[in-house]
Amino acid sequence: MTPYPPDTGADPDVLRRLHYAAAIACGVCAALIVHIVLTVLGIGLDAVLRGGADSRQQFISALAWWAIGGAAFIAGWAAAAYLIAAARERQLIFRLAQWFLIVLVFAGATAGGILSKTGSVGGTVDVIAGLIALALGLICGFCGARLAYLNAEQV
């Protein structure tokens, strides 16, 4: 059993906090990218805020809520699992995950940048929906990172 992190002379609590912060940041970025994509497609969190709250708009908003939370959770978990593998010096997993995450970040940032060119001015509804996506990404990214670290402590 390899301890987390290996004995490198670095303070393990500081390293763990940095890993948590990085994993949560990945979860937040994934949540915001999914929020941008869904908003451009017209199925964002703001569907309920823009008009009357009929059942179709509530359903669309609920789907967006789950998609954003799921993306943040998965991204937080994947980033934390990658950082755990890197800290335990597992080279094959480290290299594969490193390239996968690099490609994923560039693809997500590019897609979010392209799809965010909607031409709308924005307003209070957009700000509220963006802040909700940010908060949801923060919470779900933390939960994903925490799950990865709890699983790593069991192994």
Q: In this structure, is residue 107 part of a structural domain?
A: yes
pLDDT confidence of residue 130: 81
Q: In this structure, is residue 32 part of a structural domain?
A: yes
Domain holding 110, by residue range, is 12-36+68-116
Q: In this structure, is residue 55 part of a structural domain?
A: no
Q: In this structure, is residue 76 part of a structural domain?
A: yes
CA distance 6 to 89: 8
Give the pLDDT confidence of 17-55 residue by residue, as tens digits: 888 888 898 899 889 888 888 887 878 777 777 666 677
Q: In this structure, is residue 109 part of a structural domain?
A: yes
Across 55-66, average pLDDT: 84
CA distance 9 to 94: 21
More confident site: 4 or 46: 46
Give the pLDDT confidence of 85-140 residue by residue, as tens digits: 777 776 676 677 677 777 777 777 776 666 666 555 566 777 788 888 889 999 99
Q: In this structure, is residue 27 part of a structural domain?
A: yes
Instruction: Provide the domain count of the chain.
Output: 1
- Asked whether 37 and 67 are in contact (CB, 8 A), the reply is no
End-to-end CA distance of the chain: 7
If pLDDT is split at 50, 70 and 90, which confidence band does 68 have?
Answer: very high
Q: In this structure, is residue 91 part of a structural domain?
A: yes
Q: In this structure, is residue 94 part of a structural domain?
A: yes
Give the pLDDT confidence of 142-151 residue by residue, as tens digits: 999 889 888 8
Q: pTM for the whole thing?
A: 0.74
